[in-house]
Chains A and B, each alone.
Chain A
């Protein structure tokens, strides 16, 4: 199978999955108790006013009719208007997508930068104290919830130690974004690190004990060279697949991080929309989330196949 055929087939397979997600999210969010009309109308909401608002949003129609209309709109590339803001839901999501993409990319880079060297050291010093420290300490990042970790980082680097980073916000311009995004990305990275270190260390160990490394060693290559030449190359391959799998987590992980760091990304939009029962926005965000996750899985599979000659498109 050629690359083109493979991508084509995978994209076709994507359609029913994304469709399934939209069906699921549509019915789930509409079955959730809590009325967006009452949320928007506040305590003074009277039954008459609630009915008027629900009618103007088409919420008084049966669910299947609403779903039909929703699908009809999607077919025209229209995700509907936000009930809360009254502006296009698709526009809201697109406007905020860059913030979340920034967060995901930067967290990935930071997580890799922290994990690779640590995992390499742990693998070389396997079962020695250094190894244990490297494997145990990062677990703190996993155990403390990010809303806690985030605030501690904000306090330490936003208010003290020369205040190198702003306390939350998205910043302006490329470097502004970079500065604002560093702490939130670090928070996500700290949660990812223990997992990455463990996987990488394991795959490095596997390689180090494999036959061809033994051969390389017997040929008199130094341990450093063995590590650099053979092991790390393999580690890159496993890194790609680990990261690919983690993208789902990264995307989901933005929910609370964006809340803590006041980042106007789609994670924050998602949480608020669920709380406000802003149906069109919830649907739009889930759709984008689902497409993103599916595409990233596809990319990592392709990257994996290109990097590792043993893997074939199948």
Chain B
């Protein structure tokens, strides 16, 4: 008797719980575009990670970099398509001395947020400081021999050698301009509340909670920015961020999960935008594990990845199968690279040609939920080939450390571009000595591609450079040194009242153009 009653009570409780959860799905609608920008208002952007530091020369975290860029600006900046650079704090440059001297003319009337005018001395100081940072981004400025300042409006960069990616490097956030001598402060003190020429200036920060920047009244683009202030908060749970957006507690939800995109697109008062990005996801194959050193094995695995299936079930259709290790948003991406696509027959044929025709056992390390899903799809597809994948589940820090130490067999990794030039990624990915990264931690070593990449670095004629990169991408695809998985967009859900919010393929955003209407 009592037992039955208890069961009944339990059943009621369960129904109540299920009912409450059912209330979780709801609403639809659409938004309209407004016309003229309006001044005023503040927005809050919620992100899944807290900013680490605003020392742009030493920080590698996107959640820090994208904020630092609102304060500190470079001489040239990346264009909206992410393929080239346009004048920013400099108005033009001249290339002389056989491609080894760049002379920049600075924009007139640019002031730092503290009112101090920007001069060539500040530029020299900023970039000399950036390239001295051996723990940071200094390596991208390695081509610079010295910097001179013939007058307050002119800066001259003398290079050690011809260096095709130079303009792209100058546009790097690490080369953003700050007042010379850190405006009289110590380096450390300066970067706890940095000063720059950007649309916003430092307001306050509560570590682990939020960062607030306010409008820079001295901004050189007259009439901008439109917003009075911008606050970035740290909200790690994706559901919480979504609910905060729906409750208008925040105005921008950075990176909602792929599975919520469709629903957010149909939510009233919410604009869900997928911005083209340079993010490329890879399957890492460590050639120190004997079977993976066999090119036919790597090709077989690459053929056996059902990229469309992965895109459908993990990215909910919001992605494109990758066919090169470079993403389409990067200059010199070659669309006919011939990256291997899903084809089980070909996979079988390749494996038959290898030293392991009957397959082998391999361990795959997985961290995030998406990696687990992709891994399980691959496990399913490779099983018929006799390739038996077992999983090693790790937290991201261990996973990452293992990959960098080449202490793995199969693993996952991704890349987003820092500059609008393929050089950084190419050197990293195919040159074992390129930054000491063991060819993206795979130990892939093909002298032919390495040689081609060095030629491309010194080649300043765009058409010739394009041909070199096309060849590099073709060989890399044939060698299948990594499994190129997919290109995915940057996902932002934001209030329909927010206009002019645009994310560049490198991930940065120019908030001076954003306004509330």
Residue of A nearest to B437 (CB): A46
A158 lies within 8 A of B237 (CB): no
Besides A85-B207, A169-B244, 11 more A-B contacts (Cβ < 8 Å) are A32-B398, A53-B135, A132-B6, A151-B237, A159-B243, A163-B247, A168-B249, A260-B237, A262-B236, A264-B206, A264-B234
Q: In the bound complex, how far is the Cα of B401 from the Cα of A45, in angstroms? A: 10
Residue of A nearest to B440 (CB): A43
Q: Does A4 contact B (CB under 8 A)?
A: no
Give the shortest distance, in Å, between B197 (CB) and chain A (any CB): 25
- A42-B397 contact in complex given A137-B9, A167-B247, C-beta closer than 8 Å: no
Q: In the bound complex, how far is the Cα of B188 from the Cα of A87, in angstroms? A: 10
Give the shortest distance, in Å, between A148 (CB) and chain B (any CB): 8
Select one of B6, B9, B398 contacting A33, CB under 8 A.
Answer: B398
Q: In the bound complex, how far is the Cα of B48 from the Cα of A168, in angstroms? A: 13
Q: Does B32 contact A (CB under 8 A)?
A: no
Q: In the bound complex, how far is the Cα of B207 from the Cα of A86, in angstroms? A: 11
Q: Does B60 contact A (CB under 8 A)?
A: yes
A-B contacts, 18 listed (Cβ < 8 Å): A33-B402, A34-B400, A40-B52, A43-B60, A45-B404, A53-B135, A86-B188, A95-B206, A129-B5, A144-B17, A151-B240, A154-B240, A155-B24, A156-B20, A167-B243, A262-B235, A264-B208, A275-B395
B396 lies within 8 A of A275 (CB): yes
| Those of A44-103 within 8 Å (CB) of chain B | 44-50, 52-53, 56, 84-87, 92, 95-96
* Count of chain A to chain B residue pairs whose CB atoms are closer than 8 Å in the complex: 153
Give the shortest distance, in Å, between A191 (CB) and chain B (any CB): 14
Residue of B nearest to A44 (CB): B60
Q: In the bound complex, how far is the Cα of B13 from the Cα of A166, in angstroms? A: 26
Encode B384-423 as 1/0 by CB contact (under 8 A) with A.
0000000000011110111010000000010100000000
B188 / chain A contacts, CB cutoff of 8 Å: 86
Q: In the bound complex, how far is the Cα of B5 from the Cα of A50, in angstroms? A: 63
- A44-B5 contact in complex given A38-B400, A159-B246, C-beta closer than 8 Å: no
Give the size of the chain A interface in residues (CB under 8 angstroms): 63
Q: Does A12 contact B (CB under 8 A)?
A: no
Q: Does B134 contact A (CB under 8 A)?
A: yes
A147 / chain B contacts, CB cutoff of 8 Å: 237
Encode A140-179 as 1/0 by CB contact (under 8 A) with B.
1000100100011011101110010011111000000000
A276 / chain B contacts, CB cutoff of 8 Å: 397
Select one of B5, B6, B61, B402 contacting A42, CB under 8 A.
Answer: B61
A47 / chain B contacts, CB cutoff of 8 Å: 436
Residue of B nearest to A53 (CB): B135
Q: Does B181 contact A (CB under 8 A)?
A: no
Encode A240-281 as 1/0 by CB contact (under 8 A) with B.
000000000000000000011110100011001001110000
Residue of B nearest to A127 (CB): B2
- A136-B10 contact in complex given A34-B397, A276-B397, C-beta closer than 8 Å: yes
B60 lies within 8 A of A277 (CB): no
Encode B423-453 as 1/0 by CB contact (under 8 A) with A.
0000010000001110000000000000000
A269 lies within 8 A of B237 (CB): no
Q: In the bound complex, how far is the Cα of B436 from the Cα of A46, in angstroms? A: 6
- A44-B237 contact in complex given A33-B398, A159-B247, A264-B208, C-beta closer than 8 Å: no
A170 / chain B contacts, CB cutoff of 8 Å: 209
B236 lies within 8 A of A259 (CB): yes
Q: In the bound complex, how far is the Cα of B208 from the Cα of A92, in angstroms? A: 9
Q: Does B53 contact A (CB under 8 A)?
A: yes
Encode B231-242 as 1/0 by CB contact (under 8 A) with A.
001111101100
Residue of A nearest to B138 (CB): A49
Q: In the bound complex, how far is the Cα of B233 from the Cα of A268, in angstroms? A: 14
Q: In the bound complex, how far is the Cα of B399 from the Cα of A277, in angstroms? A: 13
Q: In the bound complex, how far is the Cα of B7 from the Cα of A132, in angstroms? A: 10
Q: Does B50 contact A (CB under 8 A)?
A: yes
Residue of A nearest to B244 (CB): A167
B435 lies within 8 A of A46 (CB): yes
| Those of B38-67 within 8 Å (CB) of chain A | 46, 50, 52-53, 60-61
Give the shortest distance, in Å, between A57 (CB) and chain B (any CB): 11
Q: 8 closest Cβ contacts across the A-B interface?
A: A42-B60, A34-B397, A264-B209, A34-B398, A262-B235, A46-B436, A264-B208, A167-B244
Residue of B nearest to A83 (CB): B52
B12 / chain A contacts, CB cutoff of 8 Å: 137
Select one of B14, B50, B401, B436 contacting A38, CB under 8 A.
Answer: B401
Residue of A nearest to B237 (CB): A260
B396 / chain A contacts, CB cutoff of 8 Å: 275
Q: In the bound complex, how far is the Cα of B5 from the Cα of A132, in angstroms? A: 8
B401 lies within 8 A of A259 (CB): no
A136 / chain B contacts, CB cutoff of 8 Å: 6, 9-10, 13
- A160-B23 contact in complex given A42-B61, A53-B135, A262-B234, C-beta closer than 8 Å: yes
Q: In the bound complex, how far is the Cα of B12 from the Cα of A56, in angstroms? A: 60
Residue of B nearest to A147 (CB): B237
A199 / chain B contacts, CB cutoff of 8 Å: none
Q: Does B21 contact A (CB under 8 A)?
A: yes
Residue of A nearest to B424 (CB): A44
Give the shortest distance, in Å, between A240 (CB) and chain B (any CB): 30
B233 lies within 8 A of A169 (CB): yes
| Those of B200-259 within 8 Å (CB) of chain A | 206-209, 233-237, 239-240, 243-244, 246-247, 249
A49 lies within 8 A of B135 (CB): yes
A160 / chain B contacts, CB cutoff of 8 Å: 23
Q: In the bound complex, how far is the Cα of B437 from the Cα of A105, in angstroms? A: 50
A292 / chain B contacts, CB cutoff of 8 Å: none
Q: In the bound complex, how far is the Cα of B240 from the Cα of A282, in angstroms? A: 25
- A154-B243 contact in complex given A40-B52, A168-B235, C-beta closer than 8 Å: yes
A32 / chain B contacts, CB cutoff of 8 Å: 398
Q: In the bound complex, how far is the Cα of B24 from the Cα of A268, in angstroms? A: 25
Q: Does A133 contact B (CB under 8 A)?
A: yes
Select one of B139, B239, B437 contacting A151, CB under 8 A.
Answer: B239
Give the shortest distance, in Å, between A84 (CB) and chain B (any CB): 6
Residue of B nearest to A168 (CB): B240
A152 lies within 8 A of B20 (CB): yes
Select one of B10, B249, B401, B435 contacting A44, CB under 8 A.
Answer: B435
B134 / chain A contacts, CB cutoff of 8 Å: 48-49, 52
Give the shortest distance, in Å, between B429 (CB) and chain A (any CB): 11
Residue of A nearest to B250 (CB): A167
- A140-B243 contact in complex given A38-B401, A56-B135, C-beta closer than 8 Å: no
Q: In the bound complex, how far is the Cα of B397 from the Cα of A133, in angstroms? A: 46
Q: In the bound complex, how far is the Cα of B206 from the Cα of A85, in angstroms? A: 12
Q: In the bound complex, how far is the Cα of B437 from the Cα of A47, in angstroms? A: 8
B23 / chain A contacts, CB cutoff of 8 Å: 155-156, 160
Q: In the bound complex, how far is the Cα of B208 from the Cα of A42, in angstroms? A: 20
Q: In the bound complex, how far is the Cα of B435 from the Cα of A45, in angstroms? A: 8
A44 / chain B contacts, CB cutoff of 8 Å: 60, 428, 435, 437
| Those of B64-90 within 8 Å (CB) of chain A | none
Q: In the bound complex, how far is the Cα of B135 from the Cα of A56, in angstroms? A: 10
